[in-house]
Amino acid sequence: MNTTSTTIPRETARHVLWFFGQDGGYQPGSFTEHLLYALSFADMVNTAKIAEVYPDYAAAMVAAKLDPDGIANLQRIAGAEAPLGCKCGDSAGPFDLQGRCETCTESAA
């Protein structure tokens, strides 16, 4: 599972932030809430399986759980800090964890 190139939409970032009780989050619907709950307990093998269908949620949860800057990066994506914008000028998103827009992320792959 490659979480560095997965684009995480603002809504996904906000849902994961809510799950961890962090600023910038808001509660998702019940299905997504249960998905986040499953991801919070999943080992890396099962996380990779879930990522095949929900790559953005898997990447966001892995970042929140394992990356020391994961929560801060998700807050940037969610817009809890200054508005996020890509170097190319795109400010609409979605953005990956490096702050690149979807178009720049795809061209970097």
Q: Residues 6 or more apart from 79 whose CB is under 8 A from it?
A: 10, 24
Q: The pTM is what?
A: 0.71
Query: Who has greater pLDDT, 82 or 49?
Result: 49
| Per-residue 3-state assignment (H helix, E strand, C coil) for the chain | CCCCCCCECHHHHHHHHHHCCCCCCCCCCHHHHHHHHHHHHCCHHHHHHHHCCCHHHHHHHHHHHHCCCHHHHHHHHHCCCCCCCCCCCCCCCCECCCCCEHHHHHHHC
Cα–Cα distance for residue pair 87/54, rounded to 1 Å? 27
User: Would residue 1 count as lying in a domain?
Assistant: no
User: Would residue 52 count as lying in a domain?
Assistant: yes
Domain range for 30 is: 10-108
User: Would residue 4 count as lying in a domain?
Assistant: no
Query: Who has greater pLDDT, 2 or 105?
Result: 105
Say what the pLDDT of residue 109 is: 67
pLDDT tens digits, 10-61: 999 999 999 999 988 889 999 999 999 999 999 999 999 999 999 999 999 9
Say what the pLDDT of residue 33 is: 96
pLDDT band, very low/low/confident/very high, at 103 (cuts 50, 70, 90): confident
Domain count across the chain:
1
User: Would residue 2 count as lying in a domain?
Assistant: no
User: Would residue 38 count as lying in a domain?
Assistant: yes
Contact by Cβ (8 Å): 57, 35? yes
